Structure 1
């Protein structure tokens, strides 16, 4: 390590020698930096999983434009939309087709634990609004009380899910009715439910008799080839007489949902503060280590100062220490953080995983906050007068 740093800095690696001289303190400093990295990794992983879980149900459907109630900040939130607006939207020459989408959560008593399934009611006669994985099985929903079940739902065993097929369906009681799953698709547990389920709109209304077929949660529209979504949306806003409706592209609706979850919902704000706290913890730990090291070697630094060495020399030494702490503390933090996220993902079925972008961003952040800590730690040295130290 000494030779590597000497080649890198072109001088004796004073910072490394000072850190490694007291191995116990050095190990404690590395553990502190690693701990801060683990905090940031876990919070970032949860934030990313929340984003992935928020966007995941949008992948189940295909549409160009979505019409929602004015208070529909998320896919499963907000009021209903009158079906009459679907009929008005169909009057636009660039609107090729439209359908209503119903959404609600249904409980499933699994004996030891109840799970909640976010259930979508769709028109089985319109497979074009569904993803390729689901569209192939949509004909099964023409049977009353038939369902397509999320095989990655929390509380559903892998073997039990793998056995679901038209020849060996899975039946269960919910909302006072017997629902039978004839096929599965890949969803996964989220923050609003343990998994997903698709049923026909008629089955959905039988599960929720208080709901009306004339009031879906959202309206999905597909446009003719070559149509400009922005131009169509502008026309729809004048064509549809309810100004409170949110008429957006399907992609914009997903982005708005994600932004709402991350900046308005308490969970997103809490996770964001968790990342900030992890950074502050790392900043304080590195500053404390470097500040203590500067104080312990203040006389030696003062000697260098009296010999004519300038501030850049001392800043270089402290930055060297900060770089060593940041890099060497990052590696165990990455290993432990990856293990924790993998374990949490296996337990919760949330999309928790270490990604290259997370690793790179945390590494760069670690180097930056280590450098900032080093810059703060040298302020005491810059103010020191050699004559006062001897």
Structure 2
């Protein structure tokens, strides 16, 4: 027998019907893992999407209330504290970010009123915006006393899909007419089905009760500051020093740390994060069972041939290499269609649900590694029958 003969490949493809069935089983497990990882990623990533319109590499320092344990918690702090922190920073440009979810209700003509998330920012610092065009749209919305609509908001709100039609829609925000000016793109999360974006002065008109006894914008949800820090250590040191200005009232941290903290909260401190993690493991177990059955059946069907090779003196290492090679081919045959189907499902769910599910290289690498691992491990377990069989008993 020539060592160049791709025995594993020929054995796997000797019956294309069986090969396709085997690949379909692996592909099912691949889709299951991709979807669970996709939902898990959407859970983590979409909950920090409120910062997506902003350039967090420029707005590199974040200030939040000491009581705010995640971004959806409505715990606010005084604007004067943000100004004090910004005043101590080299660079010192700041942007207050306002959020309202609990009391905001939008009523689009022809639909019933629904809760919606409302965000507000200032447009004084152009560098804070990831997209300069967004700042221009916000400036126009400010002139007209209106808002921008997240184009990924769920269809139940009734927002038009065309800009010109959107501008003619009649809508009320908390009982007051609100002009709908244009779109922006952000995405939904597990606590909000849609978002309006406006400037802080317009925002104050719709939420005058935010600060009883004072101006609505005198309290803020998140403060973003640009600090002229050239490296991570300098940024961390500056955040620690600024924290001492009001340690009982505010938390000061690099913006990337705020994002990481928010992701960790949803992943580790909520049951949803654990559910999707278990879902990934379930997909892995289901795939391993399918692969085991496929390879066990294949080895059983070809046991006389394997026994002949064993009787001819082929060592156990040869059969291990054979199973690993066949597992690799099986993993590839199942992964490619599974990844393509998952990519299509990601695009469909992103479009219909507002959740951002992206097919990234890291995600694909993780799933392929898991797929290859489950195929190899299940193949090794299936091969035990070959190792325990006496070749003489088969003839």
Using the size of structure 1 for normalisation, the TM-score is: 0.83
Structure 2 residue aligned with 1:108 = 106
Shift of 1:129: 4.2
Partners of 1:337 and 1:241 lie apart in 2 by: 47
**Conserved? CA contact 2:229–2:235, under 8 Å:** no
**Conserved? CA contact 2:93–2:125, under 8 Å:** no
Structure 1 residue aligned with 2:193 = 194
Partners of 2:362 and 2:86 lie apart in 1 by: 43
Which one is further off, 367-376 or 144-153?
Answer: 144-153
Provide the aligned C-alpha RMSD in A: 3.1
Task: Give the alignment partner of residue 52 of structure 2, picking from 55, 59, 66.
Answer: 59
Instruction: Tell me the matched-pair count.
Output: 378
Structure 2 residue aligned with 1:48 = 41
Shift of 1:32: 0.8
Distance 1:130 1:353, change over 3 A: closer
Shift of 1:353: 4.0
Distance 1:43 1:176, change over 3 A: same
Task: Give the alignment partner of residue 223 of structure 1, picking from 223, 227, 232.
Answer: 227
Partners of 2:296 and 2:124 lie apart in 1 by: 70
Distance 1:232 1:162, change over 3 A: farther
Which one is further off, 350-359 or 316-325?
Answer: 350-359
Task: Give the alignment partner of residue 253 of structure 2, picking from 248, 256, 273.
Answer: 248
Partners of 1:341 and 1:266 lie apart in 2 by: 23
Structure 2 residue aligned with 1:301 = 306
1:337 maps onto 2:342 in alignment: yes
Question: Which structure 1 residue ranges, 5 or more long, are not aligned?
Answer: 1-5
Shift of 1:387: 4.6
Distance 1:375 1:93, change over 3 A: closer
Partners of 1:266 and 1:42 lie apart in 2 by: 18
Structure 2 residue aligned with 1:92 = 88
Question: Which structure 2 residue ranges, 5 or more long, are not aligned?
Answer: none
**Conserved? CA contact 1:81–1:217, under 8 Å:** yes
Structure 2 residue aligned with 1:349 = 354
- Trace 1:255-294 onto structure 2 (pairs within 5 A): 255-294=260-299
Partners of 1:307 and 1:52 lie apart in 2 by: 57
Return structure 1 stretches of 4+ with deviation > 6 angstroms: none
- Trace 1:3-152 onto structure 2 (pairs within 5 A): 10-11=4-5, 13=7, 15-21=8-14, 24-62=17-55, 63-92=59-88, 94=90, 96-105=92-101, 106-110=104-108, 111-112=110-111, 116-123=115-122, 129-131=128-130, 132-140=132-140, 142=142, 145-152=145-152
Structure 2 residue aligned with 1:182 = 181
Which one is further off, 310-319 or 379-388?
Answer: 379-388
Which one is further off, 284-293 or 60-69?
Answer: 60-69
Partners of 1:16 and 1:125 lie apart in 2 by: 64
* Aligned-partner SS, 1:158: coil
Task: Give the alignment partner of residue 160 of structure 2, picking from 130, 144, 157.
Answer: 157
* Aligned-partner SS, 2:70: coil
Shift of 1:225: 7.1
